[in-house]
Amino acid sequence: MFGETYLRLAALVSILIASAHGYIVKDGNCSLVSAGIPVVTNFDLQKYLGRWYEIERYEQDFLRDLECVTVEYKDNVENATIELKTKGYSTEKEAYASFTGTARVYDPLGKPPGGKLIVNYGIKSSNESNYWIVDTDYTRFSIVYTCMQIDGSESVIEGYWMLSRTPELTEELQITEKLEFLKNTYFIPSHVRSTNQTESLCRKEPEKQPVPAALILPPLP
């Protein structure tokens, strides 16, 4: 009996994953939290602010099929929150979509803040650190793990992000090797989706046709 239930659940989960192109829905808890995934220590929020380009991700419902994804972290000094603005280009709709969220650093008393944020997009608000910065050098790369419980269920949605300060990730071997290691050790590479950041695709607006300047020929000799 138990075996059969388990198999059905496993089948259901694999259908969910398969039908959703790498959208990771899992039974149980945020597994990497208990698996001891590393998190940045002595996190420096000020250095982390600004724009990041998404290089890779696990697919997420709200980002489905979007390319050219960027995320901008902005400090709201007045209320001590961080504003997150995610933007992505839908090739199908030929338009950008954007999403705004807020975040704050998870800051348990008596401990220096690590790279754990509490991020809230939309109406569902969370109290828990659901956004972990696994590693970053602030100036080139960041690797992020997220995990959120699905309301009223025993399932979670996990996220993986590889972010870069530039549309193309640095090719510095020391960094790319480290990122490959983290990805292969803690994430599921076969579920990772690459983001197209090609300039011709990601331009904000279709380039206006330049108005041809009047052609003035020098007078014939």
The residues of the shown chain that bind ligand NAG, judged by CB under 6 A, are 28-29, 76, 78-79, 81, 102, 125, 127, 196, 198, 200-201
Q: Compare residues 10 and 139 and give the one whose CB is closer to ligand NAG.
A: 10
DSSP states along 140-161: SEEEEEEEEEPTTSSEEEEEEE
Contact 117, 101 (CB under 8 A): no
Task: Work out how close the CB of 33 gets to ligand NAG at its nearest, in angstroms, rounded to a whole number.
Answer: 10
Q: Compare residues 108 and 181 and give the one whose CB is closer to ligand NAG.
A: 108
In degrees, to the nearest 5, what angle opens at C-alpha 160 toward C-alphas 198 and 48? 75
Q: Compare residues 28 and 108 and give the one whose CB is closer to ligand NAG.
A: 28
Task: Work out how close the CB of 221 gets to ligand NAG at its nearest, in angstroms, rounded to a whole number.
Answer: 47
Q: In the chain, helix, strand, coil percent, each to 5? A: 25, 35, 40
Contact 160, 56 (CB under 8 A): yes
Task: Work out how close the CB of 75 gets to ligand NAG at its nearest, in angstroms, rounded to a whole number.
Answer: 10
Q: Compare residues 40 and 84 and give the one whose CB is closer to ligand NAG.
A: 84
Distance CA 123, CA 63 (A): 17
Contact residues for 47 (Cβ-Cβ < 8 A; gap 6+): 138
Q: Compare residues 28 and 50 and give the one whose CB is closer to ligand NAG.
A: 28
Cβ count within 10 A of residue 189 = 10
Tokens of 88: 């992505």
Task: Work out how close the CB of 67 gets to ligand NAG at its nearest, in angstroms, rounded to a whole number.
Answer: 7
**Residue linked to tokens 């348990």:** 108
Q: Compare residues 98 and 198 and give the one whose CB is closer to ligand NAG.
A: 198
**Residue linked to tokens 């193309």:** 168
Task: Work out how close the CB of 211 gets to ligand NAG at its nearest, in angstroms, rounded to a whole number.
Answer: 25
Task: Work out how close the CB of 71 gets to ligand NAG at its nearest, in angstroms, rounded to a whole number.
Answer: 17
Contact residues for 126 (Cβ-Cβ < 8 A; gap 6+): 118, 119, 120, 148
